[in-house]
Structure formats: structure tokens, C-alpha cells
Amino acid sequence: MIKVQKTQNIASIEKYYEVLDEWQRKDCDLLLPKQLHNWRMGGKAALVQFIITWAKRFPLGRLITHVQDSSDADTQLQRLCDEDHGLVGVMMASDIVTIAGDASLKASAYRFAERRIARMIDFSVPEKSKNAVRGPAILLLCADNTTKAHLPSFYYQNPRLKKQVRSVHDFEELAKRILYHCLSFASNLRRDEFPESYKRSVGKILRELFKNTDDWAKTDHTERRLIRSVRGVIARSYVKEGPQPVDLFKDAEGSTALEAYLRHKELREAVLRPSFFELSIFDSGPGLALRWLGRPLGPDERIEDEYTAVMACLHKHGTSSAHTHRGIGLHSVMRTLSERKGFLKIRTGRLSVYRDFVSDPYVGQEEEVSDGEKEKSTTYMLDWHSKTSRLNTMPRAEGTLVTMFIPLTASRVSNE
């Protein structure tokens, strides 16, 4: 059994992948904390992807709860499903059992999980959105093995539109609700500090990435429907919420690329007066490289080839779908993040790559790569550990996780 601790960030979650790779048995159970004591920058989204990876790697793995006796399980199961990581665990695990592992709680757990997802439906209604989520963080989850897989925040509800992803304008309105909710917990920021262009930028990013998850997250690389699949959005503001300052460097501990980003002079105000917005989009699909190549990656596959496949998804007019070339991939996302002095991290397959748009602005379709040469039609990112183009082979992660950090400080986002 793998036991996850209460405090997590990006660096600490990576250690659990190593445990999965070393696990010799065919089954592996997972024990999650009742709640995260202090989830740090990127920590919750990274934990969600790890849970997805565990569930797909060990399809018979059970989620161990802290329930001692199945006759008194309701309170514990409700608390578990009220936690974002617990909800994803319930939706992805083959079974949910007592701490002794001697009784299944799956039926009851699903009941509470569906109630939690049902509350998320209210987030699409402005006057009800405050009651749909709790605290300064937001999870909006689409669980495809439930009757509530198409949240109205993301999908048209008109039957004639066949659950189509909403328009860019609708996602801009969604982004505004997300930002306003997160800012309602900030003591040092006001809604009127943010220009409409900032909200539009977040909306465009959110729509582009969610549309991609809708295209690739529900099936495997052969277009076969997955038995269990989830995709969703995690958002949170990191702001000064009280007299004690938020220690962002502690949040980023062990992640040298993120630490370096936070030390930029251009971000000094946002760090000293903590003001960052985190937006993560995740899915349990096959991952970018597998979807692009249309085949599994062999054990001897070069990491450089996997990187090339992932970067192909980021090109203008690129897509991870083998049957369509609609859309513009993540090109517009990178352009927008560059304008907003943001930070982008992608974890998929054996790759963990990032782009710091303060030190490395996005130029466009023809970019200057690190060795000073021009490489046509290349959108590049750097390795998370080497901080260069030299790639490290990471333990394989399932699905795709895209995490962005965007400064909220008004003076930095008012570049109309």
C-alpha cells in the first residue's frame, strides 16, 4: 500500500512515481490523507495526476479509506469526497474499502461523489456559484462514468448541440467567475483592479485547453472508450490572506525552475505581496505523445522522440487528435502566458517540461532555440530538472497535466 502524506508540492509528488515504478506486485492499494494540510503551488494538481496514474497503472487497486467500520462510514466518505483529491480517487479507483480492507464502500462513496459533482453544476449560475465550491480553490470535474459528465460550465445543455464545448465567450465568463471567487478570499486585491483583457486571457487559455481534453481524454490512443476517465480544472489564488505573508519560495521548494521564476525582478511585487493565480487542466487520457503518434511508446523509445511528439501538439494548427487538424493547439496559450509574464508546466508520459515566460518570452511560430539557431515551426520548452534542452527521462505519468501560474498584481496585468 502507498500512503500519501498531508503536505505536498510538485517536487514531493514526483517521489511517489518512483515508488510506483518499483512496485513489483500486480495490485497496489492507495491510502490518501483525510485532507491536505497545506497544498502548495501546483501540489494538488500534481497529486491528482498521480492518483490518475496509480489507478490506470493498477486497475485492480483499491482506495483505502480511514473508515474503521462500514456501519459508520457516511461522515468519513462525505469528507473524503469533499476533498478534491479524494473525489478523484473515488472516481478512478476500482473499489473503495475500509481501512482494514475487509468491506467495500464503493456504492456509498459514489453516492457522495455524485452529490459533490452535482454541486459543481451550480457554479455555472452566477447567483449560485458561491455555494458550489468552498474556500479559495475551485475544482470542476467531469467524471465520464457518471450521469453528470458534462458540467454546464463547460458544455451546452441543449440536446441539439450534443454536449458541445461552450464558446470562447462563455469560457471568458467562466474565467471571470473563477477569478472573482478566488479573489473574494484575498485581502490585498480588488476585483476592479483587473482589466477585462486579463479575464479574457484566462478564458481563452481555459477554453483552448479544455477543448483539447474533451477531444482526447475520454478514449485511449486507438479511440476506444476508457472504462473510467476524468478531466477537469483546478484553480486557486495565492494571495496574502492575513497578517502572515505567504511564503511562495517554501511552496516551490525542490522545484528549482519554479523558484527561479519567482525570483525575477519583474515579479518582485507579486512575490512580496503574494498575488498569483494557478490554473491547472488535467485529464486521464493516453497523454499527448501517445495520442499524437497513435501507438504505444516502446520501452526503448527515445525520450527525444517523445518530446518531438509532444511539441508537435503545441504548434500553431497542431492537435493531438489523429483525425482532425482543427484549432491552434497550445500556441495561443503560450502567446497569452508570455503577454502575462506567466509560467507553464506540462507533465505527460515520461516528460516534465516548462516555460518561464519572463526569462524566455514566446516569440511565435519561428523561435530562437537555446543554442542560438533558428528552428522553423518549433515551439520549445525546457526540461524541468536540467532547465535546458537536455531531457531527463521521468517515471511515466498517465494523462496530461498542464499547470500555469499567472501574476495577479494589478501593475503587471494592466498591459492593455
Q: Which residue has the higher pLDDT, 145 or 405?
A: 405
The answer to whether residues 209 and 217 touch, using CB atoms and an 8 Å cutoff, is no
Instruction: Provide the 10 A C-beta neighbour count for residue 198.
Output: 24
Residue 48 one-letter amino acid: V
pLDDT confidence of residue 345: 96
Highest mean pLDDT among 62-71, 104-113, 134-143, 284-293: 104-113
Over residues 155-180, the pLDDT tens digits come to 998 888 878 999 999 999 999 888 88
Provide the H-helix boundaries in 122-195: 129-132, 168-183
User: How confident is the prediction for the chain on average, in pLDDT?
Assistant: 84
Over residues 287-311, the pLDDT tens digits come to 988 888 888 888 788 999 999 988 8
Per-residue pLDDT for 40 more than 70?
yes
The C-alpha cell at 284 is: 486521464
Instruction: Provide the 10 A C-beta neighbour count for residue 205.
Output: 27
- Global pTM reads 0.90
pLDDT confidence of residue 294: 84
pLDDT confidence of residue 374: 40
Question: Could you tell me which residues are beta bridge partners of residue 383?
Answer: 353
Highest mean pLDDT among 63-72, 130-139, 321-330: 63-72
275: left (phi over 0), alpha (psi -120 to 50) or beta: beta
The C-alpha cell at 326 is: 482543427
- The stretch 187-216 carries a mean pLDDT of 77
Instruction: Provide the 10 A C-beta neighbour count for residue 303.
Output: 16
Distance of alpha carbon 274 from alpha carbon 262, whole angstroms: 11
Per-residue pLDDT for 322 more than 50?
no
162: left (phi over 0), alpha (psi -120 to 50) or beta: left
- The stretch 27-51 carries a mean pLDDT of 89
pLDDT confidence of residue 378: 55
Quickly state the pLDDT bin for 323 (edges 50, 70, 90).
Answer: very low
The C-alpha cell at 11 is: 517536487
Say whether 274 sits in a helix, a strand or coil: coil
Distance of alpha carbon 399 from alpha carbon 348, whole angstroms: 6
- The stretch 175-200 carries a mean pLDDT of 73
Beta strands 95-97; 397-407: pairing state: unpaired
Over residues 246-275, the pLDDT tens digits come to 688 888 899 999 999 999 998 988 887 778
Per-residue pLDDT for 373 more than 70?
no
How far is residue 273 from each of residues 202, 236, 357, measured CA to CA in Å? Answer: 21, 16, 20
* Backbone φ, ψ for residue 255 (5° rounding): -110, 85
pLDDT confidence of residue 404: 93
Distance of alpha carbon 109 from alpha carbon 340, whole angstroms: 41
- The stretch 219-238 carries a mean pLDDT of 89
DSSP for 371-386, please give it: TS-EETT----EETTT
Quickly state the pLDDT bin for 186 (edges 50, 70, 90).
Answer: low
- The stretch 347-363 carries a mean pLDDT of 94
pLDDT confidence of residue 313: 76
pLDDT confidence of residue 71: 74
Distance of alpha carbon 47 from alpha carbon 62, whole angstroms: 17
pLDDT confidence of residue 189: 58
pLDDT confidence of residue 376: 39
pLDDT confidence of residue 233: 95
pLDDT confidence of residue 89: 96
Per-residue pLDDT for 320 more than 70?
no
Residue 347: which of 248, 270, 276, 280 has the closest Cα?
280
pLDDT cut 90: percent of the chain above it: 46
Q: Which residues contact 220 (CB under 8 A, 6 or more apart)?
A: 226, 285, 286, 290
pLDDT confidence of residue 230: 95
Provide the H-helix boundaries in 287-405: 288-293, 303-312, 331-339
DSSP for 51-117, please give it: HHHHHHH-TT-EEE-S-S-GGG-HHHHHHHHHSHHHHHHHHH-SEEE-TTS-SB-HHHHHHHHHHHH
